[in-house]
Amino acid sequence: MSKIRFVWVGKIKEPFFRDACAHYTKKLGRFHKLEETILKDAPGKLPPRDKVQHEGKAIMAKVKPSDLLICLDEKGKEMTSVELSKQLQRWSEDPNLTPTFVIGGPFGLADEVKNAARVKLSLSKMTLPHELARTMLLEQLYRAASILRGSPYHHV
């Protein structure tokens, strides 16, 4: 069973997002071993630019040499669910690399993190709240894993 890592900034505050993330995490966990790192939001007194830098340093401190870093960014590449499933399969093929998805805090990701990423992925051209982006990513990864296994979850 291949592994997928997640590095998230901030806890999920809304119960409905927590429930949705737990739901898709459980489903995705049938197909992949999951590892989650949740980092604290930067201190509230900092200006947005400094928050992004603070969180960026915390993210980079958690990145392992074996991580294939995939940052979610509105300017990243958009994929269909089928394209994501094929990409997930490629990312999971190398036993020495672990696909590691990163979602920053409310003000996004530091350039340091984006530059370290091998892939920049977009869920939408629109800006999404990070809690919604986390939920959508988990659902799409579950859908991708289902497609790869021929599950009827994804209706073609």
Domain residue extents for the chain: 3-148
Contact residues for 26 (Cβ-Cβ < 8 A; gap 6+): none
Rounded average pLDDT over 57-85: 96
135, 140, 137, 126: which is closest to 12 by C-alpha?
Answer: 135
State the pLDDT at residue 1. Answer: 78
Rounded average pLDDT over 95-108: 95
Residue pLDDT, tens place only, 2-42: 999 999 999 999 999 999 999 999 999 999 999 999 999 99
Whether pLDDT at 127 is above 90: no
H or E stretch covering 137: helix 130-148
State the pLDDT at residue 65. Answer: 95
Contact residues for 61 (Cβ-Cβ < 8 A; gap 6+): none
Higher pLDDT, 152 or 99: 99
Across the beta sheet with 3-9, the strand order is 33-39, 3-9, 98-103, 67-78, 119-122
Distance in angstroms (rounded) separating the CA atoms of residues 9 and 3:
20
Residue pLDDT, tens place only, 78-97: 999 999 999 999 999 999 99
Amino acid, single-letter form, for residue 50: D
**What CATH fold (topology level) applies to the domain 3-148?**
Alpha/beta knot (3.40.1280)
The distance from CA 48 to its chain's CA centroid, rounded to whole angstroms, is 21
Whether pLDDT at 156 is above 70: no
Percent over 70 (pLDDT), the chain: 99
The answer to whether residues 142 and 79 touch, using CB atoms and an 8 Å cutoff, is no
Q: How many residues does the chain have?
A: 156
Residue pLDDT, tens place only, 136-151: 999 999 999 999 999 8
Rg of the chain (C-alpha set)? 15
